[in-house]
Amino acid sequence: MLEDELKKTFEQLNIEPRPSTFNAVDIVFRGTAVKRRRRTYAVAATGTGTAVVAVVIAFALNQPPKQGDHSPAGPPGPDVSTSSPMRPSRTTSPEQPTSLPVETPAMTTTNTTSPIPTTTTNSVDPGPQNSTTATDLPRTTTSPSR
């Protein structure tokens, strides 16, 4: 049988074993070096991974808000004020007591209306045809001349 021939061939080959080219000390030396290299790679990979995660999180947090965000606005805070049209005010605000010029008491002319023309619409019941529009022009009241 071929199987028996194979066994005998293997047995004959085993008669003269060759001397080994390495011993246990060589394996231990190589194993120690491999362990040290693996530890170095593990430390380097962990540090690199941590840095990458930190950079990704920093980028994610610094993203500007999206333009298409249609979520309802919240109530304004106490510091937020709505803007009004440019309207010169003669009254002095308590925050800026020194910024506006102080009017002299000798002046007799006072403006009681704002310089911007105001429009008032008086609508009468029967229909829109009879509606009249009156425009109040700025009037200046002066003291009677002498």
Partner 1 sequence: MSWDAEFSHYFDRCADSMRFTAFLLCGNHHEAEDVVQSAFLKFYLAGPKLAQREGVPAYLRQIVVRTFLAERRRVRWKREKLTDTLPDLPEAGVLSEDRLVVWQALDAVPAKQRATLVLRYWHDLGVEETAAALGCSVGTVKSNTNRGLKALRQRLGPEFGALWQEVSRGA
Please tell me the total number of residues recorded for the chain in this structure.
Answer: 146
CA gap 84, 79 in Å, rounded = 15
Does position 8 bind partner 1 by CB under 8 A? yes
CA triplet 21, 23, 26: central angle to 5 degrees?
A: 100
Cβ at position 34, least distance to partner 1 in Å: 6
Site for partner 1 in 60-89 (CB under 8 A): none
Least distance CB 45 / partner 1 (angstroms) = 18
Nearest to 116 by CA among 141, 93, 135: 135
Q: How far is the CB of 29 from partner 1 (least distance, A)?
A: 10
- In the complex, the residues that contact partner 1 under the rule CB under 8 A are 2-3, 5-10, 12-18, 20-28, 30-31, 34-35
